[in-house]
Amino acid sequence: MTINIIDAEKFKKAFFSGAYNLNNKKEYINELNVFPVPDGDTGTNMTLTIMSAASEINNLKDPTMAEIASAVSYGSLRGARGNSGVILSQLFRGFSKEVKEKESMGVIDLSEGFQHAVETAYHAVMKPKEGTILTVAKGMAHKAKDITTLNPEIDIIAFLEEVIEYGDKVLQNTPELLPVLKEAGVVDSGGMGLMTFFKGVLSSLKGEDIVLDESEGSAVKEEGASDKAAVGSGNDEISTASITYGYCTEFIILLDEPLMDQQVEELKNYLLSIGDSVVCVADEEIVKVHVHTDHPGLAFECGLHHGQLTRMKVDNMREEHKERVVLASEVAAARKNEDMNSSITNEPYKKFGFIQVGAGDGITRIFKDLGTSYVISGGQTMNPSTEDILNAINKVKAKNIFIFPNNKNIILAANQAASICHDKKIIVVPSKTIPEGITAMITFSDEMTPDENLKEMIYAMEQVKTGEVTFSIRDTSIDGKVIKKDDIMGISEEGIESVGNDIKEVTKELIKTMVDSESGLITLYYGDKITEDEADDLVKELEDSYSDIEVDIHYGGQPLFYYLVSVE
């Protein structure tokens, strides 16, 4: 079988096949993660990212190449979760930008798309690390260029077979570039996810489309499916009293050319002149618009000045309200976790706002007591997407908003959200742990500029050592330690410090490695599986062991981690 051209229909089928292959094998990819901690995991994050793109494509009827490319870019960008998901979204974004003007793709187009994909992804990562998904993508792009230079007439299937074969070789070499992979005896999980996607694409082009394993679940909504399960998604907190404008209007502008910040502001101001509840998020290629108005046509007409419109949707909110009243009691229960954020709705605009990412009712309460505007429920196993962070930004009424990811796997998604938000100044504080986020928040001064605050926050975080106590989810060997499933682990910034079967003893051993002659304060946040009495017993033993150091304890209520620890 030979193929010389990929048209829109083949492109769509191939993308779905690749997405489904990744979805079906995500648990295997998760198992390749080096650290055996409960995690958001690479396979899961990449799957959620790619399924967001698949959902966007699925909403299109008889799409053109340009529409598919825009849907892939937009969906993956908004749905990106974790570092692996963000990098995957940037690969898709670069590729889509290269091919969106094509009516079909040949091998030269594919090769050029690969080059642009890698350039975009490397540019998005502050300090690219080799031995990762980036290395695999770069190797495939180089191979693609070599092949088309030597044989520009090569068949697409033969071309992809060679590229994928070489990608597998690069993947197998990742342990030589990252010692931690070699010690654990695994290849890079992100690279494996990328290869899994491409193998699904190739399978489709050969006439063997990968089918979604329904047992794994799917984020792709069937065409024509109702949105009612979302209970008025996008129209939160409406009541008959507050419906000044009757139509919830949403659409996406496929830009003729990128908008300047001033143009985005002008668009937003116009929308405010004909309605309220305006959300206007722009990047280089698209603008997502949401507005409540009595004249949807005027909103659409304004959008048409900047490009083509897609995903247009108009809902009669007064009519929907009658349905939602019936569901009010059920919705109230579902929104229980949002109670602490609800006070934002009627706040006036402030100079500064703060968004923290964290899990646990105690952690949320601590953040709120420190002045946090909005807490995104998430963390280790629940990496919020770029869209989740953008939604939080839209809910915080402030001109300058600090975002604290509090997890190294969320920083890229936060940066990506900041890069496409133009109507507020977004400052991403690179906090990798909950204690760092707390320390940085304490450091804030409203007498300093945002940039001055960021500098002080980073300095303050550098003075704090942080650790965590959790359990192993698999057998492995790392940091010279043999670890069995369900072992208790004490992990510092340097790696796994202590392993055992007793939570208290492992925690004490972890703290011992963190304390030095300059330490003056040990702070512990105990999780939802630790009782207050157990926490108090640990504090007493620590006070006996470190009589010249203050020991502080707080209820965090965080899942998965028995204790979060900071030493300063």
State pLDDT tens for residues 95-112: 999 888 889 999 999 999
Mean pLDDT of 415-423: 87
pTM for the model stands at 0.70
Tens-place pLDDT, residues 281-302: 677 778 878 788 888 889 998 9
User: 140-159 burial, b if ≥16 CB within 10 A, otherwise e?
Assistant: bbbbbeebbeeeeebebeeb
Q: Is the pLDDT of residue 214 over 80?
A: no
Highest mean pLDDT, choosing among 324-328, 337-341, 369-373: 369-373
Q: Is the pLDDT of residue 223 over 60?
A: no
pLDDT for position 219: 43
Mean pLDDT of 329-342: 49
- How far is 45 from 380, CA to CA, in rounded Å? 11
Q: Is the pLDDT of residue 559 over 60?
A: yes
- For every residue of 342-380, DSSP letters joined together read GGGTTPPPEEEEEEEEE-SHHHHHHHHHTT-SEEEE--S
Q: Is the pLDDT of residue 176 over 60?
A: yes
Tens-place pLDDT, residues 505-554: 999 999 999 999 889 999 999 999 999 999 999 999 999 999 999 999 99
Mean pLDDT of 406-435: 91
Helix 42-58 and helix 8-24: axis angle, to 10°?
150
The least confident of 154-163, 429-438, 477-486, 531-540 is 477-486
CB 405 within 8 A of CB 430: yes
Write the CB contacts of 118 (distance below 8 Å, at least 6 apart in sequence).
91, 94, 134, 137, 138, 141
What confidence tier does 7 reach under pLDDT thresholds 50, 70, 90? very high
pLDDT for position 34: 67
Q: Is the pLDDT of residue 484 over 50?
A: yes
- How far is 64 from 72, CA to CA, in rounded Å? 12
pLDDT for position 236: 33
CB 422 within 8 A of CB 264: yes
Helices (H), 37-127: 42-58, 65-79, 82-99, 107-124
pLDDT for position 340: 59
The least confident of 10-14, 23-27, 257-261 is 257-261
Q: Is the pLDDT of residue 259 over 80?
A: yes
Tokens of 152: 């520009």
Helices (H), 285-378: 296-304, 317-326, 328-334, 361-369
Sign of CA dihedral 492, 494, 499, 505: negative
Average pLDDT in the chain: 85
- Give the phi and the psi of residue 320 in degrees, each rounded to 5: -65, -30
Tens-place pLDDT, residues 395-411: 899 999 999 999 988 99
Helix, strand, or coil here: 356?
strand
pLDDT for position 283: 72
What confidence tier does 123 reach under pLDDT thresholds 50, 70, 90? confident
pLDDT for position 505: 96
Tokens of 270: 């116009």
3-state helix, strand, coil in the chain (%, to 5): 50, 20, 30
Rounded to the nearest angstrom, the gap between the alpha carbon of residue 282 and the centroid of all alpha carbons in its chain is: 18
Of 554, 534, 563, residue with least CA distance to 468: 563
pLDDT for position 220: 45
Q: Is the pLDDT of residue 562 over 90?
A: yes
DSSP code of 400?
E
What confidence tier does 381 reach under pLDDT thresholds 50, 70, 90? low
- Give the phi and the psi of residue 525 in degrees, each rounded to 5: -120, 115
CB 543 within 8 A of CB 419: no
Tokens of 69: 């490319």
Say what percent of the chain tops pLDDT 70: 86
Mean pLDDT of 461-475: 90
pLDDT for position 561: 92
DSSP code of 104?
S
CB 495 within 8 A of CB 479: yes
Q: Is the pLDDT of residue 338 over 90?
A: no
Write the CB contacts of 398 (distance below 8 Å, at least 6 apart in sequence).
349, 350, 351, 352, 353, 373, 424
What confidence tier does 335 reach under pLDDT thresholds 50, 70, 90? very low
The least confident of 64-78, 134-148, 336-350, 409-423 is 336-350
Of 127, 177, 160, residue with least CA distance to 411: 127
- How far is 262 from 226, CA to CA, in rounded Å? 37
CB 418 within 8 A of CB 428: yes
Q: Is the pLDDT of residue 156 over 50?
A: yes
CB 478 within 8 A of CB 34: yes
Write the CB contacts of 56 (distance below 8 Å, at least 6 apart in sequence).
71, 72, 74, 75
pLDDT for position 180: 80
Sign of CA dihedral 283, 284, 290, 291: positive
> Considering just the CA atoms, what is the radius of gyration of the chain in Å?
25
pLDDT for position 343: 56
